[in-house]
Amino acid sequence: MNAKELNEIFMGACEQCPQCSGFDDQEELVDGQYVDVANLGQKGIVAVIKYWRNENTIGGHILHDMGYVESLPDEVLDLLDNIDKLIEKAIMDAVGC
């Protein structure tokens, strides 16, 4: 799966939210820069994952705080779980635990 495909999967989950129609054509100010959510895949897989994992972005809020993360395919849920495990391991390694 490439960055564009992954971004489209995340956007599809958000589009299931009745309050979020038109979300795909939105630009959002994230960390001082405007992010074109529909074209986020062009910035690469890391940008896509960082945006959608961030609960402080509109997309991240819809997925995580409003519960639409559950509508993602198992493949994407597994990817997110693996990323969480890698982050946890990196933290433990960094602090010497």
Question: For residues 91 and 88, what is the distance between their CA atoms, to the nearest angstrom?
Answer: 5
Query: CB–CB of 51/35 below 8 Å?
Result: yes
pLDDT tens digits for 3-19? 999 999 998 888 887 77
Question: For residues 69 and 60, what is the distance between their CA atoms, to the nearest angstrom?
Answer: 9
49's tokens: 């994952």
pLDDT tens digits for 25-76? 567 777 777 888 888 999 999 999 999 999 888 888 888 888 888 889 999 9
State pTM to two decimals. 0.83
